[in-house]
Structure 1
Amino acid sequence: MLQLNLKDKVAVITGGGGVLCSTIARNMAAEGIVTAILDLNLEAAEKVAQEITAEYGVKSIGLSANVLDKASLETAKATINKELGSIDYLVNGAGGNAASATTKAEEITENEMDSLEDTFYGLEMDGFDKVFALNFQGTLLPSMVFSKDMLGKKDGSIINVSSMNAFRPLTKIPAYSAAKSAINNFTQWLAVHMAKTGIRVNAIAPGFLLTNQNRFLLVDEKTGEATPRGQKIINGTPMERYGEPEELSGTVMYLLSDWARFVTGVVIPIDGGFSAYSGV
């Protein structure tokens, strides 16, 4: 009978200093997985790793790494191999949106004709490029570097972090939506490419969770109440709430485990029913 078979495996989590991925890392540790927490912010990565070791008694290390710099990732890999051993799992959690890649207007109407800088025409290409690179290239490069250990074992699991925006692009955030859509396609492509190596490649597509990257769009800073956009999201989610970071972990553990040994190339929504709801 298939078992979870997670204990003592070694996992790399990029973006591990953030709320979502640090929560996933903690849940990994609860299952006995040894973790390497990677983040551009070394202090944040080390803090998460120290807390994991103290709480769960499972080894964890925090490292600074830039997911857009292959040399930086290879340096991190050398340290991981030395301190933790060979890598079994990779969670590509680094990503996010930016205000500079966001339109102020949801759509072009007669009212916006005199202020096109608030629309598609006013997008800053530097911001667009930054968001696309962080999400897509920041998934591709770590996959190149950290999956090499898995090749030698003919076993391993890569989990990419997509978004509901990949399936149903949202207004205002074209760069983020396009990048996450690219991650879906890349997940399927790499799953096929790796299929005979024993490495499985899948993705999760979270619905709406409040994060540092989207809070400015969803919550009014002055009142703390939902913005009109935030209220639209709640109205369009049958469960009528935002997701919680903990609620991503069960799907991640399943995809890592031997229970999903015949599962590769899938993107699983975790969205409170958002993708199933037509609005009627």
Structure 2
Amino acid sequence: MSLTEKTVLAFGAGAIAKGFVPEGATEFSRGYVPAFLEAGARVVVVSRGRSADDAVELFQDLGNIVAVHCDATDRIGVESVFYAAVERYGGVDVIINGSGGVQPATVVAANKETGQTASEKFRDITVDDIHKVFDANYTSKVIAAQVFSDYLLNSSRTGSVVNITSMSGLRPLSKVMFYSDAFASVESFTHNAASFFGQNGIGRVNNVAVGFMLGEQNRKLLVDENTGLPTPRGSEILSNIALGRHVTPKEIASMVLYLADDDVSSGITGATYRVDAGFGLIDLALTAAYRPT
């Protein structure tokens, strides 16, 4: 592999990046941060909060890893991250855009506690809330690509961008329509950015579209805390996945490293690779999630 001594900027340090022990398993499923370290890369983990520090504490024995705090939607902050990485390591070779997540305020679903219907929730979602979804999941990736492209052009280097996206951007998912919209926009942006990077001779841009994975953000939605069994929503989702299970961080990491590595994927750009356990084979979009009950 060509990742030895390469510098990787990993934006976002959640479950996909770090990994965890999946439900029903006994072994740790590593995310792409430890996978890059084991491949000999130097990793700069970027997050707003402590998750980047947690990654350093977990994986510092595996190799050269540092944590940087930055809001991925802040252009000046992202530029500072690049400058710091270049000063410390002499360059940046790969960026992984993994920031983002579902904004609870934009989930279109009935609320049994308040009596609010799904149609009322859809009506009441604010423009500010929609902007937050797009900033976290779309704009953050655009900013990182802009700053990276400027660095590559000015340093006469090439690099690889891997965006962590969602299958909901390819097949609209009920209840999280604005989240789906944001990732549909990322799909379009990746095609355009890949064209720009390629025509300017500065590298490649690709997506890894992730299916359902049990992480910190969605565990309460998918698993009953008291019984450990799937919630009704969790059961509905599993019944619509061909392999009947969630994907693991290790499965996602393998694809991320493949697309980052010029030795094995140098001819691939503007592509989206699905790691979804077969979610794309069965349509969850057409469930009657919005019907009045």
Give the structure-2-normalised TM-score.
0.85
Residue 93 of structure 2 corresponds to which residue in structure 1? 88
Q: Cα offset for 1:219?
A: 2.3
Query: Structure 1 residue 156: deviation in Å?
Result: 0.9
Query: Would you say 1:233 and 2:237 are equivalent positions?
Result: yes
1:39 paired residue among 47, 57, 61? 47
Separation in 2 of the partners of 1:32 and 1:160? 21
Distance of aligned partners of 1:223 and 1:83 in 2 relative to their CA distance in 1, 3 Å threshold: same
Instruction: Determine helix, strand or coil for the equivalent of 1:7.
Output: coil
Tell me which residue corresponds to 1:5. 2
Q: Which moved more, 1:20-29 or 1:119-128?
A: 119-128
CA distance in 1, matches of 2:146, 2:218: 29
CA contact (8 A) 1:89 1:158 kept: yes
Cα distance in 1 between the residues matched to 2:267 and 2:164 = 20
Which of 17, 23, 28 does residue 21 from structure 1 map onto? 17
One-letter code of the match for 1:199? G
Q: Distance in 2 between matches of 1:207 and 1:228?
A: 18
- Rounded to whole Å, the distance in 1 between the matches of 2:127 and 2:172 is 19
Deviations 1:201-254 (A, max 9, x none): 000001100122222332234443212221111111111111111110111111
Instruction: Report deviation, 1:125.
Output: 3.0
Match of 1:51 in 2: 58
C-alpha separation between the residues in 2 aligned to 1:148 and 1:13? 18
* Among 89, 110, 124, the residue aligned to 2:126: 124
User: Structure 2, unaligned stretches of length 5 or more?
Assistant: 19-30, 285-293
User: Separation in 1 of the partners of 2:128 and 2:119?
Assistant: 15
Question: Is this contact kept in 1: 2:7–2:93, CA < 8 A?
Answer: yes
Q: Distance in 2 between matches of 1:186 and 1:233?
A: 28
Aligned residue number for residue 186 of structure 2: 183
2-structure distance, mates of 1:78, 1:239: 43
Displacement of 1:73 = 1.1
Q: For the residues of structure 1 that align with 2:241 and 2:89, how far apart are their CA atoms?
A: 41
Structure 1: state its 5+ residue gaps: 107-112
8 Å Cα contact 2:149-2:197 kept in structure 1? no
Residue 102 of structure 2 is matched in structure 1 by 97
Instruction: Classify the secondary structure of the residue corresponding to 1:202.
Output: strand
| CA distance, structure 2, for counterparts of residue 172 and residue 219 of structure 1 | 17
Number of residue pairs matched by the alignment: 266
Question: What amino acid is aligned across from residue 244 of structure 1 in structure 2?
Answer: T
Offset of 1:119 from its aligned partner? 4.0
1:217 and 2:259 matched: no
Deviation sequence 1:136-158 (CA, Å, 0-9, x none): 01111111123433333442100
- Name the amino acid aligned to 1:63: V
Distance 1:190 1:74 in 2: 18
1:50-78 deviations in Å (ceiling 9; x for gaps): 43231x1x211100011111111112222
Contact 2:110 2:116 in 1 (8 A): no
Match of 1:72 among 74, 77, 85: 77
State the Cα deviation string for residues 111-163 of structure 1 (Å, max 9, x = none): xx984654422323332221111100111111112343333344210001111
**Cα pair 1:162 1:181 within 8 Å, conserved:** no
CA contact (8 A) 2:109 2:118 kept: no
**3-state secondary structure, aligned to 1:162:** strand
SS at match of 2:184: helix
